[in-house]
Chains A and B, each alone.
Chain A
């Protein structure tokens, strides 16, 4: 049974760095891509980025190089760091397992979501 669980700080001040971690159980970490997706209040879903099974990271250009995604294979964890946050980064953040292929959009297992609020 695949289980995905995430955690991280829920309240940040502008200019701080968002940091979230996702733990994965019940699946080989090396066979899939691992993704971060968010939903801002009243808006739709936005793909933030991923780390591939070959440990190559890709991120949405809209986030202007502020994204760092890393993996800790010894613990089956992967993490998101988003620097220089503003109120526009307030959202529910999700981690999700993706296909091992490069150009796909199917995410079959998701974390429970973490509400991150950016406020001074």
Chain B
């Protein structure tokens, strides 16, 4: 059981929007920045969002991130079949001095 709680799965139709939540506590999300990753089986995870809401170069603006208190949210608009896969939030856990990941959310584009 991860310290960061994500829904196990979400789904939506192509072209639609989806949000994925990540819930933590004051010792992690509440006082540290959040990152989001897309992980497709057989490939390396890909950084989508860092510092809560910043996109690395090459990540389209269909992906957005936000943080409020001890929770963070990833938003994806204009869903494409290539967006399918697992999405993970991550942050620093101050009490343990480690990086922690959420349990992952499987996105299905119907």
Of A11-19, A71-79, A99-107, which binds chain B?
Answer: A99-107
**Which residues on A sit within 8 Å (CB–CB) of B103?**
44
Interface presence of B56 (CB below 8 A):
yes
Interface presence of A113 (CB below 8 A):
yes
Q: How many residues of A contact B (CB 8 A)?
A: 23
**Which residues on B sit within 8 Å (CB–CB) of A60?**
96, 98
Would B33 and A104 count as touching, CB distance under 8 A? yes
Contacts A45-B45, A94-B45, A113-B44 given; indicate if A108 touches B98 (C-beta within 8 A): no
**Which residue of the partner chain, among A35, A105, A108, contacts B32 with CB atoms under 8 Å?**
A105
Would A61 and B92 count as touching, CB distance under 8 A? no
Enumerate B22-60 residues with CB–CB distance to A below 8 Å. 32-35, 37, 39, 43-47, 50-51, 56
- Range of interface residues on B (Cβ < 8 Å): 20 to 34
**Which residues on A sit within 8 Å (CB–CB) of B102?**
44
Per the bound structure, the CA–CA distance linking A108 and B104 in Å amounts to 18
**Which residues on B sit within 8 Å (CB–CB) of A112?**
44
A-B contacts, 9 of them at CB < 8 A, read A37-B45, A45-B90, A47-B90, A94-B45, A103-B92, A105-B100, A106-B47, A108-B47, A108-B50
List the 10 shortest-distance A-B pairs measured between CB atoms, nearest first. Answer: A106-B50, A110-B44, A47-B99, A105-B90, A103-B92, A45-B101, A106-B35, A44-B104, A105-B35, A105-B99
Interface of B toward A, CB cutoff 8 Å? 2, 32-35, 37, 39, 43-47, 50-51, 56, 88, 90-92, 94, 96-104
Interface of A toward B, CB cutoff 8 Å? 35, 37, 39, 44-47, 58, 60-61, 94, 96, 99, 103-108, 110-113
Given contacts A44-B103, A104-B50, 9 further A-B contacts (CB under 8 A): A44-B2, A45-B88, A47-B99, A61-B96, A104-B33, A105-B100, A106-B90, A107-B37, A108-B50
